């Protein structure tokens, strides 16, 4: 709020995508040749903690997301995980497919079935049902009432709550 810049952590490799949860920043970072870590850092104190270590796991390349007090990410074992940090409660959300880049808006959870590309399917979890939305999805965004996604160089919008 002061308008002053503050270094929270020096990142040596890659460009992590930070997510803000109250005064906590969450991100996934490559920290070694075969190691990624899920970090949390308190903006006020600068204190950081490693939430999860991905040693030789391809799931460390998946971007987490934050909704309210919960971090949604793919565990090192490939499980879609919802971790409420203040309560320290982890919940595994069962899927039958590979999970990559999960996102949540409080009503819906979306994820890709691969690491972006023509063989990727965008899935949506609504009322505990897993719904395939589109194939060949390169990237997507989950809004409050829609999912926008890119498929074969075209952009689409899906309205699941209508």
What pLDDT shows up at residue 130?
Answer: 95
Residue 19 structure tokens? 């997510």
What pLDDT shows up at residue 162?
Answer: 60
Residue 107 structure tokens? 């009503």
Tell me, yes or no, if the pTM score tops 0.85: yes
pLDDT in tens, 99-145: 999 999 999 999 999 987 788 999 999 988 999 999 999 999 999 98
Contact between 71 and 88 (Cβ < 8 Å): no
Kindly list the averaged pLDDT for each block of 10 residues, start to end, along the chain of length 162: 80 85 91 92 90 94 93 96 95 94 95 88 93 93 93 91 64
β pairing state of 109-112 and 24-32 = unpaired
Residue with the two structure tokens 């490939």 = 78
Contact between 112 and 148 (Cβ < 8 Å): no
What pLDDT shows up at residue 118?
Answer: 82
Q: Widest CA span of the chain, in angstroms?
A: 47
**HEC string of 49-118?**
EEEEEEECCHHHHCCCEEECCEEEEECCCCCEEEEECCCCEEEEECCCCCCEEEEECCCCEEEECCCCCC
What pLDDT shows up at residue 22?
Answer: 87
């Amino acid at each position: 709020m002061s308008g002053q810049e503050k270094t929270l952590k020096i990142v040596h490799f890659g460009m992590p995508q930070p997510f803000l949860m109250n005064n906590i920043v969450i991100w996934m970072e490559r920290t070694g040749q075969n190691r990624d870590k899920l970090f949390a850092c308190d903006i006020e104190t600068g204190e950081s903690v490693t939430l999860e270590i991905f040693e030789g796991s391809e799931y460390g390349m998946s971007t987490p997301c934050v909704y309210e007090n919960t971090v949604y990410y793919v565990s090192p074992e490939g499980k879609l995980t919802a971790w409420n940090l203040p309560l320290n409660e982890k919940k595994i959300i069962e899927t039958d497919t590979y999970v990559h880049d999960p996102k949540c808006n409080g009503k819906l959870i979306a994820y890709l079935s691969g690491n972006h590309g023509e063989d990727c399917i965008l899935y949506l979890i609504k009322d505990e049902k897993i719904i395939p939305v589109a194939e060949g999805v390169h990237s997507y965004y989950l809004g409050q009432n829609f999912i926008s996604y890119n498929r074969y160089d075209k952009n689409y919008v899906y309205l699941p709550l209508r």
